[in-house]
């Protein structure tokens, strides 16, 4: 496998983009990433686009070809990939593999979603496309319901509750406040979180990520092209994709997603580093409880201690293990297909030392993107070139 660099990044703000089409959002992000890389777009040999529900919500598929056409790329392979909320991470991995395996020297991964124009019932129905409808759809369970169950179970098992969930929310909302791309940064007190509407016991409104529009893109290049790059590159030390059960009954434990555990183990082995060497993490906090579970599944915090770490502030930007300095899905937003690539965007800024919530001397960053009921997962490890 050849060494691969992130050569350029681009993103729209995450949030509400009114009447903008999903294609226009993707083109904005992709154009910015290409421009920053300094590479001629004629050299791009492959495009992957991560998207989950543009079909049901916008009536538009073939997004990979639409974006390539708008960018004026050559007659290259252009592919939309889908794995629910992990669609963006899957797009990134495939662009990475195209270069690592020698198929081309430059590739682009784009993630995009447009959701805010649709009514709540349509959005809920579309998101439920990520469940196994034959097995679980009939139960009436939604994703907030699933993570509400996980929060109850985790809380009872480890003796934690509202205070720890709120600590995650406060941290991420606070981080989001300083991230210009974030949809819903805020300075929140525990009482405000507790007073927000109950969604699925024990989850409150602030425990749930918002409905978002947005797009993000990264240009990847073979390490041979380093001298030609105009932005500071970072290296992809590992890019792993796994699957887990699409059925809730297929999970032995709702306090862990085995697709994450497996992906993280493979990623650390590939990168040749220990979890303690990770300077910052952008992980899939679709709900506050998800951040607590994911951090343990990734091997970053010992099992059962993640909630306490959150309460003690050890996952803040200046803490022992900074998690979601971007604000995460909770505050930055979750335009589903864009999220996994947005995580790469944020991590690259950190490794360049240019993030608005900079983690000091960040050398290794990890991103974690999880789809559905843990059915698809990607974990990437990025590193500073001098690390």
What positions carry a catalytic annotation? Answer: 85, 334
| Minimum CB distance to a copy of itself, residue 323 (Å) | 24
| Near a copy of itself by CB under 8 A: residue from 3, 16, 60, 177 | 60
Peptide bond into 223 cis (omega under 30): no
| Minimum CB distance to a copy of itself, residue 80 (Å) | 4
Residue 42 is a binding residue for a copy of itself (CB under 8 A) = no
Coil/strand/helix, residue 384: strand
Q: In whole angstroms, what is the distance from residue 364 CA to residue 383 CA?
A: 5
Total residues found in the chain within this entry? 387
Q: In whole angstroms, what is the distance from residue 59 CA to residue 357 CA?
A: 37
Q: Which two tokens stand for residue 175?
A: 């981080």
| Minimum CB distance to a copy of itself, residue 38 (Å) | 24
Interacting residues with a copy of itself between 137 and 156 (CB under 8 A): 137
| Minimum CB distance to a copy of itself, residue 21 (Å) | 6
Could you identify the residue written with the tokens 């060497």? 277
Which of 155, 150, 128 is closest to 141 using CA atoms?
128
Which of 20, 76, 64 is closest to 337 using CA atoms?
64
**What is the total count of residues that contact a copy of itself (CB under 8 A)?**
59
**In this complex, which beta carbon is closest to a copy of itself, that of residue 81 or of residue 362?**
81
Q: In whole angstroms, what is the distance from residue 245 CA to residue 249 CA?
A: 8
**In this complex, which beta carbon is closest to a copy of itself, that of residue 23 or of residue 324?**
23
Q: Are 362 and 350 in contact (CB under 8 A)?
A: yes
**In this complex, which beta carbon is closest to a copy of itself, that of residue 79 or of residue 142?**
79
According to DSSP, residue 209 is labeled: P
Is beta strand 376-384 parallel, antiparallel or unpaired with respect to 106-113? unpaired
CA 294 to chain centre: 12
**In this complex, which beta carbon is closest to a copy of itself, that of residue 289 or of residue 377?**
377
Residue 122 is a binding residue for a copy of itself (CB under 8 A) = no
Interacting residues with a copy of itself between 78 and 107 (CB under 8 A): 78-84, 90, 93-94, 97, 101-103
| Near a copy of itself by CB under 8 A: residue from 27, 36, 44, 52 | 52
Binding mask of the shown chain, residues 253 to 282, with x at each position contacting a copy of itself by CB under 8 A: -----xx--x--------------------
| Near a copy of itself by CB under 8 A: residue from 73, 99, 186, 280 | 73
Could you identify the residue written with the tokens 């997004």? 63
Q: Which residues have a Cβ under 8 Å from the Cβ of 154 and sit 6 or more positions away?
A: 160, 254, 255, 289, 292, 293, 307
Which of 132, 370, 130, 146 is closest to 259 using CA atoms?
370
Interacting residues with a copy of itself between 203 and 242 (CB under 8 A): 241-242
Q: Are 37 and 29 in contact (CB under 8 A)?
A: no
Residue 340 is a binding residue for a copy of itself (CB under 8 A) = no
| Element of type H or E holding 194 | helix 190-195
Stretch that binds a copy of itself, among 36-44, 124-132, 218-226, 341-349 (CB under 8 A): 124-132
| Minimum CB distance to a copy of itself, residue 32 (Å) | 21
Residue 126 is a binding residue for a copy of itself (CB under 8 A) = yes
Residues of the shown chain interacting with a copy of itself in the complex, contacts defined by CB under 8 A = 21, 23, 52-53, 55-56, 58-62, 64-66, 68-69, 73, 75-84, 90, 93-94, 97, 101-103, 125-126, 128-134, 137, 241-247, 250, 258-259, 262, 371-372, 375-376
């Amino acid at each position: 496998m050849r060494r691969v660099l992130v050569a350029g990044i681009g993103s729209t703000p995450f949030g509400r983009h009114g009447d903008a089409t999903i294609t226009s959002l993707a083109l904005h992000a992709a154009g910015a990433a290409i421009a920053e890389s300094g590479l001629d777009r004629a050299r791009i040999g492959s495009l992957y686009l991560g998207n989950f529900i543009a079909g049901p919500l916008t009536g538009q598929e073939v997004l990979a070809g639409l974006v390539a056409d708008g960018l004026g790329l050559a007659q290259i392979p252009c592919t939309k990939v889908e794995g629910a909320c992990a669609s963006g991470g899957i797009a990134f991995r495939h662009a990475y593999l195209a270069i690592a395996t020698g198929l081309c020297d430059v590739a682009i991964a784009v993630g995009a979603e447009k959701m805010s124009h649709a009514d709540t019932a349509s959005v809920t129905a579309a998101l439920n496309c990520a469940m196994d409808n034959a097995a679980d759809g009939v139960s009436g369970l939604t994703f907030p319901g699933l993570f509400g169950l996980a929060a109850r179970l985790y809380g009872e098992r480890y003796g934690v509750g509202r205070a720890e969930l709120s600590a995650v929310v406060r941290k991420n909302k606070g981080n989001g406040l300083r991230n210009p791309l974030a949809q819903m940064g805020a300075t929140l007190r525990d009482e405000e979180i507790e007073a927000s509407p109950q969604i699925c016991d024990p989850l409150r409104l602030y425990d749930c990520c918002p409905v978002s529009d947005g797009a993000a893109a990264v240009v990847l290049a073979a390490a041979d092209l380093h001298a030609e790059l105009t932005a500071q590159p970072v290296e992809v030390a590992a890019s792993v994709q796994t699957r887990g059960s699409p059925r809730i009954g297929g999970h032995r434990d709702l306090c862990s997603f085995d697709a994450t555990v497996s992906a993280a183990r493979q990623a650390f082995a590939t990168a040749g580093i220990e979890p303690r060497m990770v300077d910052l993490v952008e992980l899939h906090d679709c709900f506050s409880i998800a951040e607590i579970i994911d951090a343990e599944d990734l091997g970053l915090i010992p099992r059962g201690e993640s909630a306490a770490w959150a309460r003690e502030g050890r996952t803040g930007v200046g803490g022992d293990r900074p998690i979601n300095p971007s604000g995460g899905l909770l505050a930055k937003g979750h335009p589903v297909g864009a999220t996994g690539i947005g995580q790469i965007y944020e991590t690259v800024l950190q490794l360049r030392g240019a993030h608005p919530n900079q983690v000091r001397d960040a050398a290794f960053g990890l991103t974690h993107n999880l789809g559905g009921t843990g059915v698809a997962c990607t974990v990437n490890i990025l590193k500073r070139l001098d690390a």
